[in-house]
Amino acid sequence: MPHCSVSLDLKAHIPILHYSAGYSVKEICGILGIRKSLVYQTLQYYAVHGVFHNPNTRKCGQHRKLTSININFIKSLISEQHTIYLDKIQEQLLTRRGAQVSISTLMRTLCWLHLTNKDVSDCALERNVEQQAIFMNKMVDLVGGPNMLMFGDEASKDERTSAQRCGWLLR
């Protein structure tokens, strides 16, 4: 039979039913639908430690490397500059907060914050409707007809080619 975990609130009812209500172990098993060994173990913990679970058990996992203050700092960094690189976040944490963490810890924290790295759309930043209308009006005045126009491929220039193409956004 596979091991199945019993919630702490269910375990908390065992000493109450046994000592306050006066139910026997067999009756508690029937009411809560649990094994006798769990009832005996919980009653033993309650008698020895005064709590219904083993207070000396080791908690799973590691301690968090980032405090809630550092996590809020990361959130503010991303809200100010959503295209920031992970190594820049790491550098800012070390210089401004004194917290040294790995890139993988930062990545897990960002995933925990439901942030994901998405493509940033830059075409909307380059458009200016007013300038486009002014240009089209000038072209109508200068050119006699559409047959007089010639377009060359890749004639545009983007001065932000080195800008980051990805940014941090909510999932």
Helices 25-32, 8-15: crossing angle, 10 deg rounding: 150
CB 6 within 8 A of CB 53: no
Contact, 107 vs 68, CB < 8 A? Answer: no
User: Tell me: the pLDDT tens digits for 36-72?
Assistant: 999 999 999 999 988 888 888 777 777 778 888 999 9
Distance CA 113, CA 134 (A): 45
Which pLDDT does position 74 carry in this prediction? 93
User: Do 24 and 55 contact (CB within 8 A), yes or no?
Assistant: no
Which residues, 6 or more positions from 2, have their beta carbon under 8 angstroms from its beta carbon? none
Q: Which tokens in the block code for residue 162?
A: 């080195």
pLDDT, mean of residues 104-127 = 78
User: The whole model's pTM is what?
Assistant: 0.46
In the structure encoding, which two tokens stand for residue 12, read together? 């908390």
Res 1: pLDDT = 44
For all residues of the chain together, what is the average pLDDT? Answer: 83
Of 20, 6, 18, give the one whose Cα is nearest residue 54.
Answer: 6
| pLDDT for the residue 54 | 83
Cα angle 161, 106, 95; round to 5: 80
State the average pLDDT over residues 16-41: 93
Q: What percentage of the chain reaches a pLDDT higher than 90?
A: 42
